[in-house]
Structures are given as structure tokens and as C-alpha cells.
Chain A
């Protein structure tokens, strides 16, 4: 997929991808910065972590990274051929 052939739809165009990702980062930065504004902070946090302005941004990013980077190794343990059970049954 080059993004320039006749089949390229709007979502495959590099320009769309670039602007989509930039927009996403912009929203992410605004949300993280909003965490520093007292009006957007919790009055009575249950945990110290809730009081950290960008805690949720960090935790969301780290959790997603961990799930994908660590999780893919599960395939080595449990991955088998697609017809694994058909052969037996």
C-alpha cells in the first residue's frame, strides 16, 4: 500500500494519517495540561496517584505499551497451527 495508487482511500493517504496523529497528540497534550489546572483536579482524591496531574496519561500510555509489547510473547507459549484441533477431532 503506497497510499498513491487508485485504490487509496482517504484513510490511507499519508496526509490524513499525519493530521490524525497530530490531532490525537494535541488532544492528549491538552488533556494532560488540563490535569495541572486546579479546577480539573479532584477535590478529595482517594489515592495519592489521583493527585498527580498527568497520572492517567502516563498510566494509559504505559499500560497500552506493556500489554502489546509483553502480551505478544504469549503467542510463543500458546500459539499452534490453525488446524490444531481439527486434526484431533
Chain B
């Protein structure tokens, strides 16, 4: 591999363009920090232009350690993710126009670049490299507020992300040993006899950690809400969707994913219901939404997974942005401290409701035309309980994302706060997201044209009479249930609290165990050293006594020195003779 071929392979890659732009933005002196965001937008435009120019295909074929790798592969699956990553990165740059923070600016571009590099990698080594870059760049967003709490959270986040990376590397080695290839294609969880393969399982868990599978999910709620307002929006998008894209490529139609995904859609609903921090509610919503995508992959509907990932990035991002705007103006994201903001933030409120309608999949929105693909796939597969569970989860989405977020932020009890409307850049980013929700919801053809399985999508029609009617029945009657619960005062009041989740295991008992282990190791060491110390001191005293200047063997010093000099000269002569 010559340096020229490596440079050519890197220069053609949109992800590398983005990453180089991030580095360039970070190098801008502090006095020119206002130029960073325009520069970042220009770099995203350049990267998008490169993506469009390349079209579909493979580039960056190199040989590393004698093995061929493909650093860039743009196929229909990776193209869809690449496009929506560009849209999201650009919207996030606009949204955070006010940010003047070198580390955050760098991470806001370098981290999407890593996710882009990951989804467009054609081999497992390239995937691993971007996977780790995504972990390392994103932690700067968790650390951005600069407090002790965010530092500790960032360390926990990093440990989990790097664990996923280490497992990925182990999986790469196992896959190579098994197939003799580093290509990143369908890997599968089982071999021909139906037994689970070690290589498949290790990669499955590595992807599962980043996709936040049940019990592996809690790093999302721990880390994302602690970032800055703009930082948490960037975080909410890329890691989990990179994992979804990887699962879709490596484990399509794996039955285990159906049940894992269905579980993911349901359990976060209950945690979201009782959560007071609305940013955490949205983090549980990420788990729930990724659950729909994971389930779709298991059902073999890659269109459903990829299409819903596209939609979710837009409408979940919009909800994060609207809540972030309220937080930017009021300084809080707690449901108990918000409420009544519709009076002075009407535009943000309207845009938030568009996002809420969309995530709930009301007809006419992006959620409706993408989620239907997944529910339909469960029907096509004649999996009644999964189908019923996904409908149940849809009512749950309406509860926590469709109603709770806008209701407790902008309506509910009057907090007495009368903040100004969101700043213009935030309104622009939210406005574009909302426009995409409605336009692609009403006219999904451009999105459908990008879906990986064109044969399947040709037969799918979202706006059939029964689909609209059944969806309206589900959502409107669920909303009526909310009205009844409020009228009867059965809806639980929000209370400030910390709700324990799986992170409790390593933050409370795990932490105690670690400190106990440290203390125990310290005690054992001290004890051992005390016993050892006396003997070492005595031994050195004896050596000094015999060999020291006044010792008996000091008489042999000249002889010893002479012998050593001769030995060194002979050794030098030997080496000299061998070499010359």
C-alpha cells in the first residue's frame, strides 16, 4: 500500500472530508470562532456534493496486512443513512449557531463524520476504526458542560462504548478466522446447522451495545441528557443509527431481533411515563424508536428499518430541538418546572407538535409513511403477538413523545415563565425539520425511491383507506384516553426524582464493590510489603557489607572490572565481525 493510494482512498471519502473539516474548524483561532459554524456548513455541503457525485459503488480498495479492504461502499442501504446523516449534521450546525466552543464544534462534525464513515465502510476493519472514532469524538459532547458530574458520566459512557469497540474487534478476528475475509456483508448469528456462531454472537453484542438493546440501554439515559443543549441533539442521532445500519447489514431477518426489538419498544414506555426530566423521556423514546427498527430488521423489512431510521432522525431530532429551545430559554428540562410556555413561544410549540404528531405516526406525517412499513411486515409475517405489541408500543409512543413532551413543556400547569421565542437559528433548524416531516409525510415518493428494497416498496401504498382509518382509530382513541385520565385526575403528577435503571448496578453496588476491591488490594499489599520489607533491607545491608567499598570483596574490584572490559570488547568484536 503506497502513501499515494492511501491518500487517494481517503480523499474520495465524504466521511474523511467531514472529519478534515472538523479538524480545520477546531484549528480556527478563538477570535475567529464565529466563522466556525459557517465553515462547518460549507464542509457538510462539500461532503454531500461528493456523495452525490460518487453515486453508487465501491471505492478506496486497499491492501492492509495482505488483506483487501474497501474503505467506501455506497449501496442503497448506506446511501440512505449517509443522506440523512448529512441532513441531520447540517440542521444541528444551524441549531447550535450560538455555540462558541472549540471541543463541541469539533465533535459536532467529527462524530457525524465517524458515523458516516461507519455506515459506508465496506469492510470490518474500516468499520472498527470509525466505530472507535465515533466513541472518542462523541464523548467530548458529554464532557462539554465541564462539570465533575459530566466528567464521570463521560467516563462511564466511554467505558461502554469502548467495550463495544473491543467486542467488535474480537468479532472481526473471529469472522476472519472463519471466512478468511474482512468484507462487511451478511454475517448471521447462526451457522448452517442452526447453532449460534461465536463470531456472529460477539458482533451481535457489539452492535447491540450501541443499539442499546434491553439491559444494555442505560448509557443513553445516563449520558445524553447531561450534554449541552446542542450536544445532546447531536448525540441522539448517530450512535444508535450506526448500530441499526450495521445490524441491518450483518443480521437481516434474524428472528432474535424481532423479540429484542419488540421488548425495546415496550419497556421504555413505562420508564418514560414516570420520568420528570423531559430530555430523559426523549432518551427512553430513542430506545423505543430503535426497537421498532431492530424489530423491522428481524422481520426482514430492511425498508422498514432504514425508512424509519430516516424518519426518526428527523422527527425525534425535532422534538429534541424544541425541548432544547425551551431549555435554552428557561434553563430547565424538568416537567415540574416547565409548562405554559405556549404563550410566549408559540412557534416552538407548533413545531414541537408537528414533531409529536410525526413520531406518533398520524396520517400526513413522516412517521405514518415509515412506521406502517414495520407494522405491515409483522402482519405479513403472521406474527400476531408481535403485531399487537407494536400497536401497543405505538400507543406508548403517543403517550410519552406525542403528548407528554409538548403537553408538559408548553401547556399543563402554568410555570409562570414567560421566556422569549426561540432564537432564529433554532427556529430555522426546527422549521426545516417540521417541513420535512409534513412534506415527506404527504409525498413520500422521494424517500421511498431511496429505500434499499425497491421491489418491496413498489407494492406498498401508505394512504389506503383502511390504513388511515385504523391509524386514526388507534391514535385518536388513545388521545381520548389521555383526556379521560386527566379529567378523572388519574394521570400521575410529575415529581422530581431519580428513577433507578440498569446503570444502578454499576453506579451503586458495582461502585461499592470496586472500592471494596481497591481497599482490599491495598490492605493485602501493605501487609505483604511489611513482611517483605524487613528481609529486603537486611539482604541489601548484607550485600553492601560484602561488596561495598569497605567489604571484603572490594579487593576483587580491579579484577572484576578488567574481566568485564574484556568481555565487552570481545562481544563488540564478535558483532563487528558478524555485521561487517
Contact = CB atoms under 8 A, between A and B. Distances in A.
A9 B340 CA distance: 8
B42 interface: no
A68 B392 CA distance: 12
Given A59-B474, A79-B274, A88-B508, A67 B465 contact: no
B476 A28 contact: yes
Interface in A40-64: 40-42, 46-47, 49-50, 54-61, 63-64
A75 to B, nearest CB: 4
Contact of A58 (B379, B477, B490): B477
Contacts of A79: 274, 495, 497-500
B501 interface: yes
Contacts of A39: 465
A84 interface: yes
Interface of A: 1, 7, 9, 11-12, 21, 24-25, 27-28, 31-32, 34-35, 39-42, 46-47, 49-50, 54-61, 63-65, 67-72, 74-75, 78-86, 88-89
Contacts of A12: 340, 414
Nearest to B492: A72
B530 interface: no
B269 A71 contact: yes
Nearest to A5: B414
B476 A27 contact: yes
Given A28-B480, A46-B382, A63 B396 contact: yes
Nearest to A59: B391
B271 interface: yes
Given A47-B379, A71-B274, A81 B498 contact: yes
B474 A60 contact: yes
Contacts of B495: 75, 79
B273 interface: yes
5 contacts: A24-B480, A27-B472, A61-B478, A67-B273, A88-B508
A83 B498 CA distance: 7
B4 interface: no
B310 interface: no
Contact of B395 (A67, A72, A82): A67
B380 A46 contact: yes
B391 A63 contact: yes
Given A46-B387, A64-B481, A80-B498, A31 B476 contact: yes
Dominant secondary structure of chain A at its interface with chain B: helix
B477 A82 contact: no
Given A31-B472, A56-B471, 15 more contacts: A32-B473, A35-B473, A39-B465, A40-B465, A60-B391, A60-B475, A64-B485, A67-B273, A68-B399, A68-B485, A79-B499, A80-B498, A81-B497, A82-B498, A88-B511
B82 to A, nearest CB: 34
A42 B507 contact: no
B459 to A, nearest CB: 13
A64 B380 CA distance: 25
B387 A47 contact: yes
Contact of B273 (A21, A54, A68): A68
A9 to B, nearest CB: 5
Contacts, number: 171
- Among B270, B382, B399, B471, the one with the most A-chain Cβ atoms within 10 Å of its Cβ is B270
A78 B500 contact: yes
A32 B536 CA distance: 88
Interface string B506-546: 01100100000000000000000000000000000000000
Contacts of B414: 1, 7, 12
Interface in B447-489: 465-466, 469-485
B342 interface: yes
A30 to B, nearest CB: 8
A64 B478 contact: yes
A12 to B, nearest CB: 7
Contact of A86 (B149, B472, B473, B483): B149
B269 A64 contact: no
Nearest to B466: A42
A20 to B, nearest CB: 9
B473 A89 contact: no
A58 B477 CA distance: 7
B480 A80 contact: no
A9 B343 contact: yes
Nearest to B481: A64
Select the residue from A31, A68, A86 with max chain B CB neighbours within 10 A.
Answer: A68
Contacts of B498: 79-85
A70 to B, nearest CB: 8
A31 B473 contact: yes
Contact of B470 (A21, A56, A72): A56
Nearest to B410: A11
A85 B510 CA distance: 13
Contacts of B469: 31, 34-35, 40, 56
